Structure 1
Amino acid sequence: MGDYKNVTVERDGPVALVRFDRKGNRNAFNQETILELTDVARRFQDDLEVHAVVLTGTQEAFSGGIDLKERSTRDEDAEGDLERRQVYYRGVKLCQAWEDMPQVTIAAIEGMAVGAGIALPLALDWRVMGKDAFLYVPEVKIGINLQWGALPRLVTLVGPARAKRICILCERMGSAHALDWGVVDELAEDGKVVERAMEMAREAASMPAPAVRMVKEAVNATANALHKAVSYADADQSQLSSSFTSAKSESDKFVKKTG
């Protein structure tokens, strides 16, 4: 399934394991990885043999978020406004492609899931998290909005007050907290997260596939009915907020602090 640099796909009958690994940088998303994961999701959409897909990063980090060093040169590299806007919307299209997959999708989260590293799992059906892993949404802290269509998905899972607290106070969230608030669905021992997610995937894949796909589509149509309407311009907002003086200052500080 494609020739990728940062993504591997392993098939085991009706179940597939998709793993992305930047080989460093806290497994942060660069543009290459975003495009590869989007292509994987789109290829699965017409797959009638695979019925459940597990997505994971590395044991050290599901993902440290967007690669801020690459992000800082994004506007300079774009040749025009349309190309710049297209780049900003790649994360939105990535998450939408995974949400649109007909298979049951499960995120296996080890280590950390930061910013965009949370946005992508929110687009999947279920999330399994390591007991010592943590979630962190730092976007407001660095002066930008949470995009990739993540905000309405988060509100649907945890409610408006908790979504505001997660995004505005930028508090690191441990696994027990994430489970209690409904951000994740199950915890597993560290190092066993993928194994547990694969068990769930096999169980889902053992069910009659047409019925599973119909139920998933019906639930998504109900729960996500207004998601696109309320987040359709979040990438444009991200491009705008990135130009704010506060965002430039805080983003530089964040990059220096996190390396």
Structure 2
Amino acid sequence: MSQAPLLYTVEDGVACITLNRPDSLNSFNTEMHAEMRKALKAVRQDSSVRALLLTGNGRGFCAGQDLSDRSVAPGEQAPDLGESLEKRYNPMLRALKDMPFPTICAVNGVAAGAGANIALACDIVLAARSASFIQAFCKIGLIPDSGGTWTLPNLVGMARAKGLAMLGDKLTAETAEQWGMIWRCVDDGVLQEEAMNMARHLATQPTRGLALIKRALHASSDNSFNEQLDLERDLQRLAGRTEDYREGVSAFIEKRRPTFKGE
């Protein structure tokens, strides 16, 4: 019996999705895409979930697309890669970006191609010291997808984004941290523990407010300063009407630890 292409658990308010095709460095095939869609839908529908942790099993996080699913023999018609993005990758990336609570990615090994950009679509990225990020698309004549052409310039600037995308060089986790691409590089042996501790912490926080923070930050690259001020006004109005805000202020005044419910 073949193993499940991904593992899904929920505990302490944290949904954990583990990519589970270690023999192929957790590269995506049709079956894995289908299971990922189910898992992301389950995350959104489970009212107990207040944080999502994404990681990989084995020595790699994700090598991107399984190219054996896309091999083209001489004389055969080339596959429509745009259709693949539209039906599989783009919905997955939108679902990750739009999660109404924090998303954490624990990059346990190489993250290449779409795998790198899936990781970078999460809110907070922790990476093992042995991990690396590779925009491998240029090696086979493709462009970075899965949001890479948007994410990379926003994270590291245009000069570095062009170098990464056009050279396809391996970027170590330590350099990724130095460049501001990821939140933190940690020793391999503590990656999963640190990532889970962070996810559990965030699951106890005012997650509706955190979702509004995400919304404001995501809009900032397209807004003028005045437009961003207006958005802050509108979102702060929403945040001020949450039960978590009421609880946070009460706890501060009463000098006690707040109990947030994400409401």
Instruction: Check whether TM > 0.5.
Output: yes
Structure 2: gaps (5+ residues): 224-263
Query: Deviation digits for residues 68-123 of structure 1, max 9, x if unmatched?
Result: 12122598697xx7xx7533321122111111111200110012111111011121
> 1:92-107 residue pairs with structure 2 within 5 A?
92-107=90-105
Shift of 1:170: 1.2
> 1:99-178 residue pairs with structure 2 within 5 A?
99-178=97-176
The answer for the alignment partner of 2:29 in structure 1 is 30
Is the CA contact 2:27–2:66 (under 8 Å) kept in the aligned structure 1?
A: yes
The answer for the alignment partner of 1:53 in structure 2 is 52
C-alpha distance in structure 1 between counterparts of 2:222 and 2:117, whole Å = 15
* Farther off after superposition, 55-64 or 86-95: 86-95
Query: Deviation digits for residues 113-145 of structure 1, max 9, x if unmatched?
Result: 111110111211011000111111111122111
C-alpha distance in structure 2 between counterparts of 1:168 and 1:77, whole Å = 23
C-alpha distance in structure 1 between counterparts of 2:14 and 2:92, whole Å = 21
Query: Deviation digits for residues 188-222 of structure 1, max 9, x if unmatched?
Result: 21132121111111221121222222222222233
Work out which of the residue numbers 185, 188, 198 in structure 1 matches 2:186: 188
Number of aligned residues: 218
Is the CA contact 2:61–2:110 (under 8 Å) kept in the aligned structure 1?
A: yes
Query: Deviation digits for residues 157-187 of structure 1, max 9, x if unmatched?
Result: 1111111111111111111111011121111
**SS of residue matched to 2:136:** coil
The answer for the alignment partner of 2:210 in structure 1 is 212
**SS of residue matched to 1:45:** helix
| 1:109/1:33 CA distance change after superposition, 3 Å | same
Shift of 1:43: 2.8
Letter in 2 for 1:112: V
Supply the RMSD in Å over aligned alpha carbons.
2.3
Task: After the TM superposition, list the runs of 4 or more consecutive aligned residues in structure 1 that deviate by more than 6 angstroms.
Answer: 74-78
Bigger relative contact order (CA 8 A; separation at least 6): 1
Give the TM-score taking structure 1 as reference length. Answer: 0.77
Is the CA contact 1:122–1:153 (under 8 Å) kept in the aligned structure 2?
A: yes
Larger Rg: 2
| 1:77/1:30 CA distance change after superposition, 3 Å | farther
* Farther off after superposition, 87-96 or 65-74: 65-74
Shift of 1:224: 6.8
Letter in 2 for 1:71: R
C-alpha distance in structure 2 between counterparts of 1:139 and 1:77, whole Å = 17
Is the CA contact 1:41–1:101 (under 8 Å) kept in the aligned structure 2?
A: no
Shift of 1:35: 2.4
* Farther off after superposition, 63-72 or 36-45: 36-45
Is the CA contact 2:100–2:208 (under 8 Å) kept in the aligned structure 1?
A: no
C-alpha distance in structure 2 between counterparts of 1:151 and 1:22, whole Å = 26
C-alpha distance in structure 2 between counterparts of 1:197 and 1:37, whole Å = 20
Letter in 1 for 2:201: E
Is the CA contact 1:35–1:94 (under 8 Å) kept in the aligned structure 2?
A: no
**SS of residue matched to 1:139:** helix
| 1:9/1:223 CA distance change after superposition, 3 Å | farther
**SS of residue matched to 1:106:** strand
C-alpha distance in structure 2 between counterparts of 1:47 and 1:216, whole Å = 20
C-alpha distance in structure 2 between counterparts of 1:203 and 1:196, whole Å = 10
Shift of 1:146: 0.8
Query: Deviation digits for residues 49-78 of structure 1, max 9, x if unmatched?
Result: 211111001240001221112122598697
**SS of residue matched to 2:189:** coil
